[in-house]
Amino acid sequence: MSDNKVSVVLGTQWGDEGKGKLVDILAKDTDVCVRCQGGNNAGHTIVVGGVKYAFHMLPSGLVNQECISVIGSGVVVHVPSFFKELEDLQTQGLDCDGRLFISDRCHLVFDFHQIVDGLKEGELGRGSIGTTKKGIGPAYSSKASRSGIRVHHLYHPAEFEKRLRTIVAARYRRYGDFGYDVEEELKRYQKLAERLRPFVIDSVEFLHKELRAGKRILVEGANALMLDLDFGTYPYVTSSNTGIGGVCTGLGIPPSKIGSVIGVAKAYTTRVGGGPFPSELLDAVGQKLRDVGAEYGVTTGRPRRCGWLDLVVLRYSTMINGYTSINLTKLDVLDVFDEIKVAVSYTINGKEVTSFPADLDDLATATVNYVTLPGWKQNISKCRNFAELPENCQKYVRFIEKDIGVPVEWIGVGAGREEMVAVGLAE
């Protein structure tokens, strides 16, 4: 029996931490890169040789020409978007032939899911979640209600047609006639099914064979822990399990096969869309973080909300996901600040709280308690080892490590692939 284990990269905050860049670096020593959950609502940007690649649904490991990439069973797939993203990457010179596969158990996202996504947001009005309107939530709702359509259904036309007509009729009863042409959709998916066929595999069997063969497998999480359906800021969350549990359920891999778990944490905090954000800065400092950090969404283009690093969030995330090391990203964005604040606890109803509360009403009343650290006011983008970082910059990193009890293994000091400091766990 092989003792080979998979490595996992997960977001620690509210997403957009820069997971794709680390996955790209690790993929050069990886045989198989896998997505386990989410859909094309995710967004990774990777810069290689001055070329910027945008990933939404496809695994970032595709940038490595020697790496096989797999979309696992827990991912929901909008097939037209799958091909559009693939074509865009190939236009930029990436040869993906024969090294991209999709699980036959993936649930499908249809255009009607995207329409319903917008209708649901409209119903919520000012209390809307702030979704990407990519149809991800409604597709997962179809899955949970056992009315969803999976990839393998595409190859049984009568069953596919029956299921599509049934699910659209149910949405019409709920929302009225929203102008969805089922007949055209059936024709379109006849062609898409054949185009997709060469990519479809039994991913459970495939991944376990690769594990037994000693192949190196890297799992790329989408979104982040604070958007997890169970452990995030519910209901301002995504519709899948974005933590370590989603790796097991989204791929069919047992916990005993999980090896290293690298948590990717931005050196400050951002989030997109609605929901609580205790350390958010609604002033000139927040705008400065946004401008210097170019904080605009890859998938939507929306400006991200910005604030100081929140160690309450990071501690909570660490408890749940069990990170073995941290990749601290975009540390260079803090180069321009005279002093840097770090949230260390909240005060709620007169009591100090050091873990993230479930109740959003309690959270809305929280006062954030900060520690202020001195900035370094130096450009760190050329640093390539920890000793080259300014003293105050090193102290900032060590402060985070001491608080969460997890070593920082990687430090991002710029957008490019080469702009990364490998700290080494022995340092």
Query: Residue 132's closest CA among 300, 15, 270?
Result: 300
Which residues lie closer than 8 Å to 294 by C-beta, 6 or more apart?
A: none
Query: Residue 217's closest CA among 67, 103, 91, 326?
Result: 67
Q: Of residues 16, 24, 104, 310, which has the active-site annotation?
A: 16
Which residues lie closer than 8 Å to 256 by C-beta, 6 or more apart?
A: none
Q: Of residues 3, 24, 44, 177, which has the active-site annotation?
A: 44
User: In this structure, what DSSP letter does residue 255 have?
Assistant: G
Distance CA 182, CA 324 (A): 48
> In whole angstroms, what separates CA 110 from the centre of its chain?
21
- 56: annotated active-site residue: no
- 24: annotated active-site residue: no
DSSP secondary structure letters along 58-80: S-GGGGSTT-EEEE-TTBEE-HH
Structure-block tokens of residue 24: 């790209």
User: In this structure, what DSSP letter does residue 53 have?
Assistant: E
DSSP secondary structure letters along 18-43: -HHHHHHHHHTT-SEEEE-SB-TT--
The set of catalytic residues is: 16, 44
